[in-house]
Structure 1
């Protein structure tokens, strides 16, 4: 059974794996080189290489050469990759609230100088979105 057609499922097909998300965390923090990404995530080199190749082929990252001899590359987020930053930040805040004990290990600062806390707002009215205010407008089809 294939399940419901869903953009969440499609997105998870690209980014829905631990080492992928941790690699994206590092890249969005400005760590772009393979060895440092591997060190900071704890991922094995072969798993990390596979995940990075998938992100490049999906258009989330670009591989850019920074040294010619021997050829060495770094990973740079595309617009699609940069657009994942608020999603990763929301996931981090959820983890800070419900999983991580003690003070949050990482914080982000907005360009205004304040510590960043992401919130969803309605693009039409500007009100903060709460889960109890949501209802499905259209559901993907469930294959028969």
Structure 2
């Protein structure tokens, strides 16, 4: 059984969960990626407790997922901008959103659709093989151990 931390797991997914595995963290990243980058905006959007939001933001900054940037000097206030690592989480957020739309659907349909900013086509999260250029469908993914 997994404990509260995954330090003994030799697994990239477990290490990633140490950074983004708490439910509020992915919801914070969803909102930041949508452009809600100020503390008060996140607080209002998420309905999260101030201390929980503060803790999660501090952790995301500590792990290099967000950067804290001053936007006002008097009083000093910050916004939270995604780093390159944070922007990469868009793939995870979109994949999770689309999985939810398919497997835990709302009776009112999907609340949001991911679009390509350039052409406004609907995006589809998928695994793509860089060697052959083909998408990998469910059941076509295997792994190999890189440990001796």
- Structures share fold, TM-score greater than 0.5: yes
1:38 and 1:44 in contact (8 A); partners too: yes
Separation of aligned partners in 2, 1:140 and 1:44:
42
Return structure 1 stretches of 4+ with deviation > 6 angstroms: none
The higher relative CO (CA closer than 8 Å, separation ≥ 6) is in: 1
**Shift of residue 6 of structure 1?**
0.2
**Shift of residue 130 of structure 1?**
1.8
Check if 1:130 corresponds to 2:137: yes
State how 1:31-70 maps to structure 2 within 5 Å. 31-70=36-75
1:5 and 1:140 in contact (8 A); partners too: no
**Shift of residue 112 of structure 1?**
1.9
1:61 and 1:77 in contact (8 A); partners too: yes
The runs of 5 or more residues in structure 1 that have no matched partner are: none
State how 1:68-107 maps to structure 2 within 5 Å. 68-102=73-107, 103-107=109-113
* 1:4-49 residue CA offsets vs partner (Å, 9 max, x unmatched): 4000000000000111111100000011000111111121110010
Secondary structure of 1:65's counterpart equals strand
Work out the number of aligned pairs and report it. 141
Secondary structure of 1:87's counterpart equals helix
When the two chains are superposed, the root-mean-square deviation of aligned CA atoms in Å is 1.6
The runs of 5 or more residues in structure 2 that have no matched partner are: 2-6
TM-score for the superposition, normalised by structure 2 = 0.89
TM-score for the superposition, normalised by structure 1 = 0.91
